[in-house]
Amino acid sequence: MTKIFILSSLSLVFVGLYGVLTRKNIVKILIALNIIETGINMLLVAFGYVEGGITPILQSDLSIANLDKMVDPVPQALVLTSIVIGLGTTAFALSLAMRYKDTHNSISIRATDEEGVNV
């Protein structure tokens, strides 16, 4: 099951990379970057997955033998942090894209001349 998650996350990363490399629209590039981010988050969760794992909460009745079955909480914390940071950077990038559209009258990343008209 983990292999399916790893393959799915890698395919999301490659689809996003294709979108970044082939698109000229700033909004489409930002969407592709978010697809890459989702793929990387999914990859981190897949690496932290333990088959038949238990929650990493220490209890008094927990034996030492069950410690190897605990799920690692670090990838989960990294993914939660990445989601929050990704939301902030996406909002900032969209505000920059709106500012670019106001100044250049276009959301394409093609070269522009001095008047803001696409060449």
Residue 60 has a pLDDT of 65
- Say whether pLDDT at 114 is over 60: no
Tell me the CA end-to-end span of the chain in Å, nearest whole number: 50
Burial of 34 (0-12, 13-18, 19+ CB in 10 A): middle
Mean pLDDT, to the nearest integer, of 50-60? 75
Task: Please report which confidence band the pLDDT of residue 112 belongs to, taking 50, 70 and 90 as the band edges.
Answer: low
Mean pLDDT, to the nearest integer, of 58-69? 68
Mean pLDDT, to the nearest integer, of 48-54? 81
Q: Which CATH number fits domain 2-50+69-104: 1.10.10, 3.30.420, 1.10.3470, 1.10.287?
A: 1.10.287
- Say whether pLDDT at 119 is over 70: no
Residue 82 near residue 40 (C-beta atoms within 8 A)? yes
